[in-house]
Chain A
């Protein structure tokens, strides 16, 4: 198979950003603008290369039959040599297309966003305040460059070990970036600070990652290799894995395939913030908004979905072997989709709504994977990344604007501190569409796409595909759960839009909010393009009217790739019933949102009307079903209690034993010193010293200190050695 030579660039894709990371931390750190220029330049290079690879792949669908794979030996381990390398198949190409572009947009956006933050005291950082940039501006770009390396590396990796390494790099970056403003604190002690949020995210995902690594180890024991094509190209091996069983305590006999895929799925649950490990993602919104867009919407959280997509042959083998793991995936996905959507309804923080919406949308993807709708999951993954990063970045722009408005009022208006002002609270906004037209309209486009506004948005096509599959394959429970989720999605999205952009400003800050700088608005426009038209790569062929004129090349490509991996994904037959139901639900969600928030805009200081209507349910939703409190009770408290118990045990029992042993040893040593040390050892040491002195006095005569003299002796020794050859 001859590959287009541009594929040789693949292994270079993660490199520019990695170099940028080192260049920034080692050299460019003191120069803020230089750092951001390095990072943006690197990511643009990566973008160009990834698009080159992706587009060449799209133009040659026959490559799905021969995914590109390039390996070099890496770790020799006994008889097995571990290879590292890169691979390109349709999934990789799609991901490269999305990741490269979104990363670039977010990097550019960040150059505008990371201005001097409101929570810092300008007098403490005079230089940074004068420049108007965050004091840790360079560090931010170093981190996101490293993050970009992790994401691009994860996408192009051709084996699970490399994938895991990049996965963990992203985990580290996520921790560093969520806690980026680690010195920020709030007047309310119960509100989570960035430092705590970072720690929480890191520890929560760790639970999933440990299980994921166990899955990897089991897989490696069985396969002896972690290369994707080596594992998935080997049908016999997969079959064997799905038939051989292992006895587990509590669970009884399960197949190896089922166990491994379950463990790996837990990794994805942690990374993609699915129930029950979803708690970290909303709090991760404490990080800067580009980070939320980058990590917690477009790329990192979708890595979990990507992982399951990659491992699909294993999952389907497990399902064939009678394991319920696919059902579990579908259940977790569908449940999370609805569950997170309900929480999103009652949030007042503009980013938290989006965070829960992300969890919910990832749930859709997992549900799709669980019912075997492989193609629909990937397409929704790609399109979701575009519109969700758009939404996050637009919300960041809004926050920026409101914060600026606040400062404006603060400086020019009355000088008294009127208490803590939360620029992220939607109830402090309103009427922003007039003040920030670009942000507003792009946000509305993204929101429409998220709510699956029929026909003209990308989100409609991808989400509809999932629902159509659920209906066509007879997964009614999944279908109705997701459909209910779709209604809620439309509702909370437009609740957000009406609260933020329509009506009249509810605070002075909102009244004076300026439009953001161009570095921030242009990426929004670029992403809005994809949020609107990105869906036309996967319009079902038999969809009335539109199907005839739009394209579905991406879906076709993914189907071909699925065939190659032995996954038979037939496109769902078009059926009016589910399509009409989902369209109606989406539109009615929008209408309900308009009736509640748009018809009569909320006045300043008024509470959310939902609170009156839903009563206690609203309180439960507002508190996220008390999950944090529950975990605190179940996991954190017992751990702390155990720790203090062990501390006391350590002090009372173990330390005492150790001290006794020590005292005995000292007594013994004193006794021995008196008898053995003085008469035997000291005498021997002194004797050795005397002998050394005497020998040295003789031997020093041949030390002349002249290198040539020593060399001569060396030569003579060589001559003697040579003489030994003929004498032998």
Chain B
């Protein structure tokens, strides 16, 4: 009961923030709304008993990605382009398609049977995640680290002033 109420509060908050992200004309505000979304998702993760991911979500999405976006917006005032409209020509069509898509997918998901279990999360979940990264998933893990390095170097190369 408490769980359901909490879920509804958090989900409503997150969706509201998401709506704000999508509709806000001021990009800085949109970014702040985005932070709200990330926060709500972290709360949902806690509700799902994935504490590690919740904390990682806050560190990575709010601490790094959102800060990066905000920073980029602050650095480039001219990029915001206030004078023109926020949406392109196809927005009403896209909106309709999205609503239809949402309805269809929700209907399908509700209809689809999932064999949910009542099993609880193992006590050493975090240890298992850790050993998963250096054990079974070691190659994807290393590839991901190389990807980050490449992205870092690539981003510097792209954003550098050329003359």
Q: Quick one: which of A709, A716, A723, A725 contacts B97, CB cutoff 8 A? A: A716
In the complex, what distance in Å separates the CA atom of A608 from the CA atom of B108? 101
Q: Quick one: which of B90, B93, B104 contacts A719, CB cutoff 8 A? A: B104
Known: A708-B88, A715-B101, A719-B100. A726 touches B108 (CB 8 A): yes
How near does chain B come to A348, taking the closest CB pair, in angstroms? 58
Interface membership of B94, Cβ < 8 A = yes
How near does chain A come to B99, taking the closest CB pair, in angstroms? 11
- Indicate if the CB atoms of A712 and B104 lie closer than 8 Å: no
Known: A722-B108, A725-B108, A726-B108. A712 touches B101 (CB 8 A): no
Q: How large is the interface on A (under 10, 10 to 19, 20 to 34, 35 or more residues)?
A: 10 to 19
Complex contacts, B94 vs chain A, CB 8 Å? 708, 712, 715
How near does chain A come to B86, taking the closest CB pair, in angstroms? 13
Interface membership of B80, Cβ < 8 A = no
- Indicate if the CB atoms of A712 and B105 lie closer than 8 Å: no
Known: A723-B104, A725-B108. A708 touches B97 (CB 8 A): no
Complex contacts, B100 vs chain A, CB 8 Å? 719
- Indicate if the CB atoms of B108 and A712 lie closer than 8 Å: no
In the complex, what distance in Å separates the CA atom of A572 from the CA atom of B88? 95
In the complex, what distance in Å separates the CA atom of A264 from the CA atom of B101? 69
Q: Which residue of chain B is the closest to A715 with respect to CB atoms? A: B97
In the complex, what distance in Å separates the CA atom of A712 from the CA atom of B89? 12
Contact with B along A714-728 (1 / 0, CB 8 A): 011011001101100
Complex contacts, B108 vs chain A, CB 8 Å? 722, 725-726
- Indicate if the CB atoms of A712 and B93 lie closer than 8 Å: yes
- Indicate if the CB atoms of A712 and B97 lie closer than 8 Å: yes
Q: Quick one: which of A708, A709, A719, A726 contacts B101, CB cutoff 8 A? A: A719
In the complex, what distance in Å separates the CA atom of A708 from the CA atom of B93? 12
Complex contacts, B90 vs chain A, CB 8 Å? 708-709, 712
In the complex, what distance in Å separates the CA atom of A716 from the CA atom of B105? 13
Q: Which residue of chain B is the closest to A708 with respect to CB atoms? A: B88
Complex contacts, B104 vs chain A, CB 8 Å? 719, 722-723
Complex contacts, A722 vs chain B, CB 8 Å? 101, 104-105, 108
Complex contacts, A712 vs chain B, CB 8 Å? 90, 93-94, 97
Q: Which residue of chain B is the closest to A718 with respect to CB atoms? A: B101
Contact with B along A685-728 (1 / 0, CB 8 A): 00000000000000000000010110010011011001101100
- In B103-117, the 8 Å CB interface with A consists of 104-105, 107-108, 111
Q: Which residue of chain B is the closest to A725 with respect to CB atoms? A: B108
- In B93-135, the 8 Å CB interface with A consists of 93-94, 97-98, 100-101, 104-105, 107-108, 111
Q: Which residue of chain A is the closest to B91 with respect to CB atoms? A: A708
In the complex, what distance in Å separates the CA atom of A690 from the CA atom of B158? 42
Q: Which residue of chain A is the closest to B90 with respect to CB atoms? A: A712
Complex contacts, B101 vs chain A, CB 8 Å? 715, 718-719, 722
Interface centre among A706, A719, A723 (most CB of B within 10 A): A719
In the complex, what distance in Å separates the CA atom of A511 from the CA atom of B105? 96
In the complex, what distance in Å separates the CA atom of A719 from the CA atom of B98? 9
In the complex, what distance in Å separates the CA atom of A88 from the CA atom of B113? 55
- In A436-460, the 8 Å CB interface with B consists of none
In the complex, what distance in Å separates the CA atom of A715 from the CA atom of B97? 8
- Indicate if the CB atoms of B97 and A719 lie closer than 8 Å: yes
Q: Which residue of chain A is the closest to B93 with respect to CB atoms? A: A712
In the complex, what distance in Å separates the CA atom of A726 from the CA atom of B90? 28
Complex contacts, A725 vs chain B, CB 8 Å? 108
How near does chain B come to A725, taking the closest CB pair, in angstroms? 6
In the complex, what distance in Å separates the CA atom of A718 from the CA atom of B104? 11
Complex contacts, A706 vs chain B, CB 8 Å? 88
What residues of chain A have their CB less than 8 Å away from a CB belonging to chain B?
706, 708-709, 712, 715-716, 718-719, 722-723, 725-726
Can you offer 19 A-B residue contacts whose CB atoms are under 8 A?
A: A708-B88, A708-B90, A708-B94, A709-B90, A712-B94, A715-B94, A715-B98, A715-B101, A716-B97, A718-B101, A719-B97, A719-B101, A719-B104, A722-B104, A722-B105, A725-B108, A726-B107, A726-B108, A726-B111
3 closest cross-chain pairs (CB), A and B: A719-B101, A722-B104, A712-B94
What residues of chain B have their CB less than 8 Å away from a CB belonging to chain A?
88, 90, 93-94, 97-98, 100-101, 104-105, 107-108, 111
Known: A712-B90, A719-B104, A726-B108. 9 other contacts (CB 8 A): A706-B88, A712-B93, A712-B97, A715-B94, A719-B97, A719-B101, A722-B105, A725-B108, A726-B107
